[in-house]
Amino acid sequence: MVLIKASKLEKEFNSQAGPIKVLTNINLTVQTGEFVGVVGPSGSGKSTLLYVLSGLEKASAGEILLFGEKVGSMNDIKMNEIRREKIGFVFQFYNLLPNLTVLENVELPLVIKKSNDLNKASEILYLVGLDQFASFYPSQLSGGMQQRVAIARAMVTNPKILFADEPTGNLDHKSGTEIMKILKRLNQEQKVTIVLVTHNLDHVAYCTRKLELIDGTIGKDERVSV
């Protein structure tokens, strides 16, 4: 099943020197169960592509279908509903609330949804190996552990798609590898579709597909040998 379809996608930003085109004629589809690694040089448009595909940024031209619905035709209420119900986000910076415990940080999306199933937070913490740290505060955790909390928070609502923007960018090699193993396990066991932006080419080995951007266009789009 196609979860994301982009057709003739363009994105430009205004500057004092005039418009700067970041994405040009992007055509792609993402199927259920894929783990897409988006790579490319700095400034090639990787993060912008992720934000546009997820609806965090508006495209300048072209069309995006997200779960079969046109992103450009959605109002803010509808877009927020899709993000809340079907999408998870993990960023380079963990964005955990320092005054909340690990468990409370993970529960937050459930509280926002007014879900009665807060036990899901404990289950997902166990899945990422942090159930014993539920009562800790973010400042008491390492960077890698905080990123695992961020992943748990993103996964607690059972999203269909997880968008991850440089989730290992702030981590050392060992912690980064642990995060990639967790993402791989979530993709395989939880069947979550993942679109990952990374500058680390070694991490593409955990993906099922490699998408390379060059100057805002797709240079390569190929399957990754497992």
Residue type, 178: E
Residues 174-191: what's their mean pLDDT? 92
Q: Which range among 3-7, 29-33, 74-78, 153-157 shows the weakest confidence by mean pLDDT?
A: 74-78
Which 3 state secondary structure label does DSSP give 105? helix
Cα distance between residue 148 and residue 179, in whole Å? 7
pLDDT above 90: residue 223: yes
Element (H, E) at 143: helix 143-155
pLDDT more than 70, % of the chain:
100
pLDDT at 226: 63
Helix 143-155 / helix 102-113 crossing angle, nearest 10 deg: 20
The total domain count for the chain is 1
**Of the candidates 5, 19, 88, 38, the residue with the CA atom closest to the CA atom of residue 204:** 38
Strands 20-31 vs 35-39: parallel, antiparallel or unpaired: unpaired
Q: What's the chain's length in residues?
A: 226
Mean pLDDT of all residues in the chain? 92
pLDDT above 80: residue 225: no
Cα distance between residue 51 and residue 120, in whole Å? 27
216-221-225-226 Cα dihedral, nearest 10 degrees: 70
pLDDT at 176: 92
pLDDT above 90: residue 143: yes
Distances (CA, A) of 52 to 22, 55, 91, 212, 220: 11, 5, 15, 16, 19
- CA 219-225-226 angle, 5° bins: 140
Q: Which domain holds residue 174?
A: 2-223
pLDDT at 92: 85
pLDDT above 70: residue 39: yes
Q: Please say whether the beta carbons of 214 and 45 come within 8 A.
A: no
* Token duo for residue 133: 């740290």
* CATH number for the domain harbouring residue 83: 3.40.50.300
pLDDT above 80: residue 215: yes
pLDDT at 72: 83
For residue 180, what pLDDT band results from cuts at 50, 70 and 90?
very high
pLDDT above 80: residue 18: no
Residue range 52-95, pLDDT digits in tens: 999 889 999 999 999 998 998 888 888 888 888 899 999 888 89
pLDDT at 149: 95
**Of the candidates 159, 170, 144, the residue with the CA atom closest to the CA atom of residue 195:** 159
pLDDT above 90: residue 107: yes
R_g of the chain, CA atoms, integer Å: 17
